[in-house]
Structure 1
Amino acid sequence: MKRVELLINDEFYTEYMRRNHEEELEPKFCQHDFQHHLNVARIAYILILEQNLLAYFVKESGLSGKLAGKEVIYAAGLLHDIGKWQEYRTGIDHASFGSRLAREILPRAHFNPLEIDLISRAVYEHRNIRQDMSFLGERLHRADNLSRVCRNCEYNEQCPKFKNKELTISNFEY
């Protein structure tokens, strides 16, 4: 996955991840670091594979093949919270801002305009489930939720999301 490697080594990607880290020195819950991004990418890919939908995604999205599909899924996961630092600083929606940042980073990693649209839309959509969201946006949203196991987090008493999450094993079934 050469394009994914280019993405994670991109100077702007690295800078935005550094900014996320700086803004999340306190509180310690729900870090939006590289490990979280990678977990979301992997879980999104697994969700699609488990439902045997990779070929469908590739065909319906007009992608060149399964490798392109995998790279698009991973890129979306790796970029989904790239704008979180700006939300901390200004209150702007990180999904919308991150979608714009993704459009700047992705061409340098050799993603084509169609792929950039798919990834940017999924980043934009990942925060809130809606009836009209894209295939990738829905999987990204679910992967993001599945990436956090909040019940045992030592910071859940301070976490604003903890009170709103249903904490049963059924969360793992999508």
Structure 2
Amino acid sequence: MPETHESPDTPVTPVDTVTVRAATFADDLALGALDRDTWSPLSAVTPPPEPPYGPYFDERHFPEDVLVAEEDGRLLGYVRLVPPTPLACNAHVLQINGFAVAEEARGRGIGRTLVRAACAEVLRRGGRRITLRVLCHNTPARALYEAEGFAVEGVLPQEFFLRGEYLDDVLMGRALTD
């Protein structure tokens, strides 16, 4: 589940020094560390990661699915895009299935930059829609996505029982073409 701590109303520092690029296998350790460092009950449906840590890239996660934001060679965030199903009739849709911004880089617009880069990447790949799932209590992420044109398209009530509480799974999406 994607998480962010950026508010759409918060002024952001320009991110002119940040570049977004496709991930490579060389990013494996940095992505794994970022994923572990940004684990939060706001977004995670799995327990906190514990050693021994496996690789970030595996049989389900590939470099070509990930865009990374970096500055001066340091990885500050990522967004992972995957097909929501293996069906050919659904190939025009990609789903955000991983999103993180390093804590020390939050509030600079990097999350917004990654969301916009994800939308551009979907279009580059010939897609027409982008979707995501977010926990109902992750209001910062939901606000960011709404500010970037995503709308709630469905709610799975009490889909998860986490830390003694039932939480809704909120499905959001946006069209990228008319």
- TM category, shorter: 0.3 to 0.5
| TM-score normalized by the length of structure 1 | 0.35
| TM-score normalized by the length of structure 2 | 0.35
More helix by percentage = 1
More strand by percentage = 2
